[in-house]
Every structure is written in C-alpha cells, then in structure tokens.
Amino acid sequence: MIARGRGWLAVRLAAATLVAAAGCTPGPVVATASSLPPRPTAAASAVPQGPGSAAAAMKALCVAPTISRGRMPPGATPPEIARVEHDVERVRDLTYERPLDVTAITRSEMNRRLTGAFDASYPRRLWDRRSRAWQAIGVIPGGSSIRDAILRYQTGQVVGFYDPDTGELVYVGTTHLDVVSEFILAHELTHAIDDQHFDLTRLDRLVTSCRDENEEAALGAVEGSAQYFATQVLLRFPGVLAPSRPPGGQPVVPTVDVPPFIQELELWPYTAGQAFITALQAKGGIPAVNRAIRHLPVSTEQVIHPERYPNDLPIAVDVPDLGSKLGSGWRDLDVEQIGEEWLKAMLALRLDANAAARAAAGWGPLPGVVRRIPHRRRAEDRLGYAGRCDRVRRRGRRMDREGTGRAGVRRVARRERSRGRVRRGRGHPDDAAGRARLTTL
C-alpha cells in the first residue's frame, strides 16, 4: 500500500497490501475481457470551471490532507530483504536507484502508526460532511462515519506501506521471511522501485485537489503493479521459506463493522488493478506496464476495461448551481468526483454483481453535489448528479444521462416530468439525517 497524509500516499499505498496480501494465493489474476464493444476514441473535453460550476464548488469545499516531506536515511539492509529486493528488480526489469529504509514492525506498531497519521490523512471537516452525503445517497447506513470505518479497516487489514514522500517502507513481520511476509515485502518494494523510476508523489496532486476518481484510477495502476510483480516474485523465486502464519504473528481482524461499500472501494485498487496490469503485460510486456505507471489512468473505467486505456478519455459534465431554484438557504454540502467503480459499488448494494457491472459500465468521471438546508428538527439532504454515459449501444448511439437535484420543489418537478425526462428514486430507508432524491435523465 501507498501511504496517505504522513504522506497521505503512504497510508493509501498501504491500505492495500492488506487483505489482498495477507490472504494471497500465488498466481496471476486473469483479466476478463470487457463485455462491451470498444468505445470510439474521444478527445478530453474541458471541465466547466466558472462560478456556480461543480468544479468551483469542489475546489471551495476541498480540504487537503497534510503531506509530510523529507527523506528517511536508509539503514543497513538485512540479507533476506536484500534478496527480495534483487528478486523484485529481476521481475520488474528495473534497478533501484538509491538505498531504501526498510523496517519490519509488529501489528501493534503498525496500528499505532496508522492511527497517529489518520487525522492528517483524512481531514474531519471533509469526511464528516461526506459521511452525511453518503448516508443520504444510501451507500452507508444512517449514523455511520466514513472516517471511523476506514480506520477500523486499516488497523485490521493493513500489513505494510511505502511512503513516496519520505522513502519509508515498513511491513508487519520479521526479517525471517515466510510466504506471506515475502509477498508483503515484495509488494512494497515494487512501490519503491516504481517510485524511483516514475515518481509516485504525482498522486499527491490528485488527492490535495480532491480529484477522487482520478486518484482511484491512478491507485488501480500503482497497486495493480505491486500486486502483479509481488505475485511474480513468489512464482519465479519460490525458495525455501518458513511456514505461513498471520503477519506479525497475529490474525487479520475481520471487517464486520465496516460497511460493504467502503470495503469494496478500499479493495478495488488491488483486485481490479492487478487484472489491469496483467492485461497490459500480456499484450505489451513490461514496456506496456511502464507506460501505464508513467501515464496513469484517468478514470476507473480505463482500469476496469483495459482495452480503453489510454485513448478513451472522460467527457466533461457539470452540475449547475440550483440554489435559486430550490429556495433560499441552500448551500453546497459536498461535491465528489465519482466514476464507474463508485457507481458499480453503489448499485451492487441493491443488484447482483453482474447486473451492477453492466449498469455502471461506460461511465466516466462525473461530479456529485449534495445541497443541504436546515428544516426545523431535521435536515433535508438533496442530491444532484450530472454525468455522461459513453457506452456504445447496439445501434451505435451514445446514451447521455444527467440529473438535477430537487426534493419538495413541486413546480420544478412538474415541469421536468412534463418534459418526460425525469425518473425518481429514494435514498437509504434508514437515513435518519434526512431524505434523498436521486434524479436521472
């Protein structure tokens, strides 16, 4: 995993080796071919930036995590770790440009580090607002906290991280490697060698500008590379390793208290990312993988459908400022950039996995806006989305979808329905904070 905040990137490039590494079965992930025909190449379009645009609101509401700087001085490298470094160089077909600071730690020490960096990595002001928005949409239960869920997930699952901003690499285990700890170490060492050649601190710019969909797509390539090449290390250089045991000698903590939607988003860069890198390597070898790390994917759609990387670029959409139409007192609660993976995970809460994947396929990044107005004893959260589905249909046409958020403004609703353009749906039935309406053209 890559870490976040201490750098943010470190916690992020860690919250990944987690279960995927601890429960790893050596062997490559086979990328499944997309069931959709390739989409015609599209030129990237400019995102509306003016006053009242979703991009302007997102910039105003963005609260960036704290990014630490300064390189850690490298220490002496134990022989077993040096051996894995050499194995990573061979499967990655790259060499380390400078020594690394590699430290084996206990599970309790890992949890202490993650907890200590958490507030800087996940600013409360942003994530508390987003928790209310996600409750209104219905992807997490009422009263849930995204921050609390992510912290529970990370302290139970993360088994290693690499911080591109400081060069620090830690993993749960000892210098006497078993299969699991070797996989974890190889995963983080792949991050380090990718960083030295392709500069993974570029992801900092995505997170500090709250470009969530672009960040998730980039993580798919970065974590996918680490998963793929760590697996190759075990396959090509099995050696004689100690019997496997839980990282740090302690079992991985179950994630029963983490909402399924958050679990899916946290694991996605590892699973879909490995399939993405596997597909690129099968088609173009190491040069194709290097190209993807040098020119990171810009949408989760590109990662899910490798044949659409790199030419299938997002089409700009916008959610206009509807405050004047909704009434006095409305203000932006949250603006979040979302894409195919986010929509698929949301739909999978109500549909089977295949149906959710088919419904979400083809969506590029789009902004979601939640506006809130106090209403006596409770708040009423209202949701608007604008998006464009660029999936090619059987007749060769494109299906466009966009929505405007309103709830209770009957005049506007009647006018839109009279045009035959609006369908309505309800938010999470357990949402105690308010009601939601998701409208889609």
* DSSP secondary structure, 182-197, as one string: HHHHHHHHHHHHHHHH
Strand, coil or helix: 57: helix
pLDDT classification of 368: cutoffs 50, 70, 90:
low
Please report whether residue 313 resides in a domain.
no
Residue 192 or residue 379, greater confidence: 192
pLDDT classification of 207: cutoffs 50, 70, 90:
very high
Pair 270, 379 in one domain? no
Amino acid symbol at 191? H
**Residue 432, domain extent:** 323-440
Please report whether residue 284 resides in a domain.
yes
The total domain count for the chain is 2
Pair 368, 409 in one domain? yes
Pair 234, 272 in one domain? yes
Please report whether residue 315 resides in a domain.
no
User: Of 282, 308, 334, which marks where a domain is finished?
Assistant: 308
Pair 128, 206 in one domain? yes
Please report whether residue 216 resides in a domain.
yes
pLDDT classification of 337: cutoffs 50, 70, 90:
confident
pLDDT classification of 237: cutoffs 50, 70, 90:
very high
Pair 290, 190 in one domain? yes
Pair 355, 406 in one domain? yes
Neighbours of 62 (CB within 10 A): 15
pLDDT classification of 382: cutoffs 50, 70, 90:
low
Among candidates 252, 289, 327, which has minimal Cα distance to 21?
252
User: Of 249, 276, 308, which marks where a domain is finished?
Assistant: 308
Please report whether residue 30 resides in a domain.
yes
**Sign of the dihedral defined by the CA atoms of residues 279, 285, 291, 293, in that order:** positive
Pair 299, 405 in one domain? no
End-to-end distance of the chain based on CA atoms, in angstroms? 39
Please report whether residue 318 resides in a domain.
no
User: Of 260, 282, 308, which marks where a domain is finished?
Assistant: 308
Strand, coil or helix: 139: coil
Pair 250, 168 in one domain? yes
pLDDT over threshold 90, residue 311: yes
Pair 391, 272 in one domain? no
pLDDT over threshold 80, residue 393: no
* DSSP secondary structure, 124-193, as one string: HHHHHHHHHHHHHHTSS-TT--HHHHHHHHHHHH--EEEETTTTEEEEES-SS-BHHHHHHHHHHHHHHH
- Mean pLDDT across the stretch 133-151? 94
Pair of tokens at residue 398: 């494109």
**Are the beta carbons of 299 and 311 closer than 8 angstroms?**
no
Pair 405, 285 in one domain? no
Pair 275, 333 in one domain? no
Pair 359, 293 in one domain? no
Average pLDDT along the chain: 76
Among candidates 88, 72, 86, which has minimal Cα distance to 10?
72
Strand, coil or helix: 87: helix
Please report whether residue 355 resides in a domain.
yes
Q: Which residues partner with 367 through β-bridges? A: 337
Helix%, strand%, coil% for the chain, nearest 5: 45, 15, 40
Instruction: Measure the CA–CA gap between 241 and 13, rounded to whole angstroms.
Output: 25
User: Residue 156: its pLDDT value, please?
Assistant: 85
Please report whether residue 111 resides in a domain.
yes
Cis check for the bond before 28: say yes or no (omega within 30 of 0): no
pLDDT tens readout for residues 29-56: 333 333 343 444 445 567 778 888 888 8
Would you put residue 420 in left (φ > 0), alpha (ψ -120 to 50) or beta?
left
pLDDT classification of 245: cutoffs 50, 70, 90:
low
